[in-house]
Structure formats: structure tokens, C-alpha cells
A and B are shown apart, each in its own frame.
Chain A
Amino acid sequence: MKWGRALLRGYTMAFLAALYAPIAVLIALSFNESRLVYVWTGFSTRWYEQIFANRLYTSALLTSVIVALATTLLSLVFGTMAGIAAARIISPRVDLLWTSLVLLPLIMPEIVEALSLSLFYGAVGIPNGIGATILGHVVFSVSFVALIVRARMAGVGKAYEEASMVLGATRVQTFLKVLLPIALPAVTAGAFLAFAASFDDVVKSDFTTSATTRTLPIIIFSEAARGGVSAGLNALATVTVVISLAFAMIRNAAERRISQT
């Protein structure tokens, strides 16, 4: 019996380690001096110097950050309102409608969503570019924010809001001074989710970016699909992964704080 438990413990530790292994390997290899990816000749930051000297990569990084920030901002505005509104839906029908509208973009295969969006853009005459990509990302990012905010507000109930109105606050005051502060931890967690989802997105970006507004994941995706692994690509991937890892960790800390309060 003891052996069984030890085995399970070892397996679980290996399981968790395996989740991180490819990222660790990626980061380690990116500091390899050699052009031959798997032949370790010494520690070097030359690949980083190279990618940061390359306009294609730096502008892609900038595009990615702009797209992710704009997506986050828009998702927060729409998602917070939708989440707060959802918590007061009484009719089960409206609730079902809300839930399907929010969940469908997350369940629908991204390839289908991306194709439909690009057909729509083509028909309405919206050109591919940063704006098109941002709007496409907001469709899924807003759902993350709305779901988290709804969960938070559902636990709070209407008492605070009613108290505020009884004490003479206007609707706007109630929203800004009572509801928003209550929702804030959820809004923060939602912001990190929205950012990460946008920053890592490949498929929708692929359908909506133009040649000059390609995001970092698109460049990594197309180069990896074409030529496989290279030392420079490892460095580029490390930059991306470190940004998204950092966001995942902050988000996790934020969410833990919510669950504690």
C-alpha cells in the first residue's frame, strides 16, 4: 500500500514537471551560443541581440502588446457591464440566452470563428489590420471577463445596491462607488485573462492581421510551421513565453486573493 502511494506521488510530481518541461527546455536552448540548436557550445545572449535588432520582430512585439492592451480595455468595459447586469437577471430564459452568448465563443472551434469573422469583414469592407484583430480578440476575451464578474456579483446579492439607493445615491453613483469596487477583484482577474488570451492567440490573428500588423505568435507560428526549430526562434519564443508566464502568475495571485476575501 505504501508503495502504491509513493508511486502515485512520484507520478504526480513527474506529471507536474512535464507540464513545464518544454518551456524550460525552450528557455535553456535560447541561451545556447551555437547556431546548431541542440549542440551546446556555451552561454550567450546573441540570439536576443539579434532578434531585438530585427525590425520585423520588434514591431511584431509592439503590435502584440498594443492588440492585447486594447483588447483588454474593451473587454473590461463590455465584460464588466455584462457581468454586473447578468447577476440581476431573474428570468431563466434571459439567463440561458446570456449564458449561451457568453459561452458560445469559447466553445466554438476557433478556426470556424476566425473564418466567419474574415468573411464578415470581407463583406462589410473592414480591412485586415490592428483594428480587425482587436475586435476579433474581444469576442472571446469579453466572455472571460463577463463570466468572472458575474460569478463575483452573484455571490454579493442586491443588498448593497439597494442600501446605496435607499441612502440617496443616484444610479451612476451606486455603480461607481458601490458595484464597481465590489466587482474590482474579479475585474482585475478578468483583465489578466483577457490580456493572456489575446497575447497568445494564433488562429484569429492569422485570419485578421495584415502583412504589416502580424503579431508575435503569428510570426513564430509561420516560421515554426515552415522551417521548424531555430536558435533565433527559440529566443523569440522565450520572450513571448516569459511575458505570458508573468501574466499567468500575477493572475493566479489575484484570483487567490479574491477567493480569500
Chain B
Amino acid sequence: MTLFQAIFFIAPFAFIVLYAFGYYSRIGGPPTGEVSLVNFNSIWNTGTVVILSRTAAVAGAVTALSFVLAYPAAYYMANLPPRTRGLVVMLLMIPFWTSFLLRTYGLVNIFQGGGLANQFLIATGLSQDDVFRTRNLSSVVWAETYTFLPFMVLPLYATLERLDRSSIEASYILGAGRVRTFFRVVLPLSTPGILAGSLLVFIIAMGELVIPTLVGGIEAQFLIGNAIYDLRGTSTGIAAALSLLLIAIILAVSLVYIRIGGREGLRL
């Protein structure tokens, strides 16, 4: 298996590097025989900055939203009696392993212009016109938030479930109210889950291709995953250079997280 990974994971990765540094230029073509920084020069411009900042903004928004949406549910689930907990975890795991493509496609059915949600709002008289629209970056944010929720809720649940009840009781005995206990005890103690969940969601959202393509319309081209995809055939070297950039960002973010959380903190 190590050998297999070496051939089909590490060796291919070497080719990204070779293309990025101009040693190859065309897929299936012969090597150019020289190494250059041309591709990095051509991504060194404002266009790349726009792409990176939009991708990071989308990924950041997705991470924040999924945290806010997932935390209350994870908190409630962690405090259920053990029998019910097993059932609830199963209910969480099943969508996790069902096709992300099809869950996104299902969302398009509901939220696109003229889709079910809009028809419902118009039919009930709550609105005159389509409320939800797809084919823009904010619909990408919502669709990714929805689809990646399991990645956030599972680590949160795992941390909250193991939370030491006695610290919470101690907080009550010492006179803290519910709100104060939550913000001063429960929330800080769930840091490992928060870190793990948000790192996972952020990383996945940074490199996502399928969801922006389905719901992002023309604006999806401003995301790095789609940029790499669109350039892969015509400007393979540039696509490879962007890939290296994406990996560098992901590595940097992960290192910062590990610094904050410690290696133990990120255990899933």
C-alpha cells in the first residue's frame, strides 16, 4: 500500500510541481527541459488576489455559518440520553456518506429561481417575486454551509459529549448563571471540537469545485477550485501553480490551527 500511494499519490504530485515550474507545458507533450518561474510570474497579479480573497471569504463565511448553525444542535444531541444519542449519531452519519453531489442537486431543486421554495412563498402570498436565487456567490456560501454541516457537527458533538459535567456543576455551585456558564465554561471547553470542525470545513470549502459549479453560475469562476479546473487544459502550468498556491494556503492554515490547538486538540 505504501508503494501504491507512492506511485499514485506522490509521483502525480511531483508532476504538479514539474508543470508549475515549467518543466512540462502541455499534457502528454514532451518535457521542455528547462525550469522557470514563468507560471508563478503570471499568477503574480491582482486577478489572483481577487480569486484568493473571494475564495477565502466564501470559505470563511461557510465556516462561520456552519459553526453557528451546528453548535446548538450538537449541544442538544450531546446532552441526550445514551440510547437516543446512538440514533441521532446515525441520523448524522447517513447524509455524511450519501452523495454530496446529489444533496447539492437536491438543493438546486428547492432554491433555484422558480424552484419549490420560491413557488411556495409566492403561492402563500408572502412574496410577489422569487426570494431565493442561485447562480451567485452567496448561494455558493449557503449550499456549501448546508452540505458541509456534518463536518462541523460531528467534531463538535464528539467534544461536547466528552465534556466533564462536574466543571459545569462547579460553575453553577459557584453562582454562575446559565448564560455565564455557557460562555465561560462550556464554550471554552469545546475548543478542540470547534477547531477541528472549522479547520475541516474551511479546508474543504477552499478547494471545492462541484458545489460552486452547480449553484455559483458565472461567479463560480472567481473561486480557486474552479479557476484550476477551467485552466487545466489550456494553461496547465498556471493551473499547476495555482494548485501549489492552494496547498500552501491550506498547509499554512493547518499549521496555525495546530499551533493554537496543540496536536491533541485536533484529534478527531
> Which A positions have Cβ atoms within 8 angstroms of B?
1, 4, 8-9, 11-12, 15-16, 18-23, 25-26, 29, 37-38, 78-79, 81-82, 98, 101-102, 104-105, 107-113, 115-120, 122-123, 125, 135-136, 138-139, 142, 146, 193, 196, 199-200, 202-203, 207, 217, 220-221, 224-225, 228-229, 233-234, 237, 240-241, 244-245, 247-249, 251-252, 256
Contact = CB atoms under 8 A, between A and B. Distances in A.
B46 to A, nearest CB: 23
Given A82-B1, A122-B28, A224 B99 contact: no
A251 B5 contact: no
B132 to A, nearest CB: 13
A38 B106 contact: no
B24 A123 contact: yes
A109 B206 contact: yes
A119 B240 contact: yes
Contact of A240 (B99, B213, B228): B99
B102 A19 contact: no
Given A1-B178, A193-B97, A224-B105, A119 B236 contact: yes
User: In this complex, which of A18, A240, A247, A248 has the most chain B Cβ atoms within 10 angstroms of its Cβ?
Assistant: A248
A122 B72 contact: no
B60 interface: no
A249 B121 CA distance: 34
Contacts of B192: none
Taking chain B's interface residues, is the majority helix, strand, or loop, or is none over half, making it mixed?
A: helix
A171 to B, nearest CB: 18
Interface string B1-42: 110110011011101101100001001100000000000000
Contacts of A221: 101, 210, 213-214
Contacts of A207: 232
Contacts, number: 213
Contacts of A233: 105
Interface of B: 1-2, 4-5, 8-9, 11-13, 15-16, 18-19, 24, 27-28, 69-70, 72-73, 75-77, 86, 88, 90-110, 112, 114-116, 119, 146, 149-150, 178, 203-204, 206-210, 213-214, 225, 228-229, 232, 236, 239-240, 243, 246-247, 250, 254
Taking chain A's interface residues, is the majority helix, strand, or loop, or is none over half, making it mixed?
A: helix
Contact of A19 (B28, B95, B243, B254): B95
